[in-house]
Amino acid sequence: MQKIHVIARKEDFDAAKAPGKIAVVLDIIFATSTIITALQRGARAVIPAADQAQALELATASRDGRYVLAGEYGAETLSGFQPYNPLAMLDLDLEGRDLIYSTTNGTVALRAASACQRVYAGCLLNASAVARHVAQNSHDQTILLLCSGSRGMYSLEDHYGAGCFVHLLREYAGAEHVALTDAAIAALRLFEQNEAVETLAASRIGRRMAAKSMLPDIQHSAGIDTCPFVAELVDGRVVRA
């Protein structure tokens, strides 16, 4: 029996309870959506950084100098970095390069989740691929759907994404083989009763991004299964599995 639990915010993640568990980290607007878009565009890996200083340290330590720096803090692009939104990845030369990426919430959540046995970068873009892979390889382990949230606050879009994963995990594992916590049930109902673009655009972060002329990025991030591949955090690098 696979237990599926949704964690509302990265701040609620308990690393001491993580060993042996599988985590799918979600930051729908925009970190994990950007990560998956970058990998689709040919990035060798995406290296999540906790903050700007760590991103610069990672760049300095690059073995071959083939990297691109991108990121934000408080939804403002970091000085000297490339933009953080998914559609910005379309304009970058990422082929064969590492994307060193720092964000307020999503990259922090990914680094925290590394305490789990396996960690995946999840979003609506690659939902089915990741859910199928996890369902087939979890071996009755607890699956944590870790919503990054926003500076300690609940994020509607992340919970919607978590609900999408609950729906798909039940489908691929078989409803009779999964046990949902109340948080997972709540996320599932949110997903089943609402549309993706509408929900993302209605969220607090969605409204803020739309005001910054990023509605196309929201629409892109709402594209379920447009990037059908698995992305896993391995030795501090998110790579296509």
**How many Cβ atoms are within 10 Å of 111's Cβ, its own excluded?**
18
CATH number assigned to the domain comprising residue 148 = 3.90.1560.10
Q: What is the rounded distance in angstroms from the CA atom of residue 159 to the CA atom of residue 134?
A: 19
For residue 73, which of 93, 92, 53 has the smallest C-alpha distance?
A: 53
* The predicted structure's pLDDT at residue 123: 99
> Residue 126 in contact with residue 231, Cβ under 8 Å?
yes
Total domains, the chain: 1
Please state the pTM of the whole predicted model.
Answer: 0.98
User: Looking at the domain assignment, is residue 155 inside a domain?
Assistant: yes
User: Looking at the domain assignment, is residue 109 inside a domain?
Assistant: yes
User: Looking at the domain assignment, is residue 239 inside a domain?
Assistant: no
User: Looking at the domain assignment, is residue 241 inside a domain?
Assistant: no
**SS3 of 139, please?**
coil
User: Looking at the domain assignment, is residue 238 inside a domain?
Assistant: no
Q: What is the rounded distance in angstroms from the CA atom of residue 186 to the CA atom of residue 107?
A: 25
For the chain, 241 residues long, give each residue's pLDDT as a single digit of tens. Answer: 899 999 999 999 999 999 999 999 999 999 999 999 999 999 999 999 999 999 999 999 999 999 999 999 999 999 999 999 999 999 999 999 999 999 999 999 999 999 999 999 999 999 999 999 999 999 889 999 999 999 999 999 999 999 999 999 999 999 999 999 999 999 999 999 999 999 999 999 999 999 999 999 999 999 999 999 999 999 999 999 9
Structural domain range at position 134: 2-233
> Residue 84 in contact with residue 30, Cβ under 8 Å?
yes
* The predicted structure's pLDDT at residue 139: 82
Tokens standing for 175?
A: 């409803």
User: Looking at the domain assignment, is residue 207 inside a domain?
Assistant: yes
User: Looking at the domain assignment, is residue 240 inside a domain?
Assistant: no
User: Looking at the domain assignment, is residue 134 inside a domain?
Assistant: yes
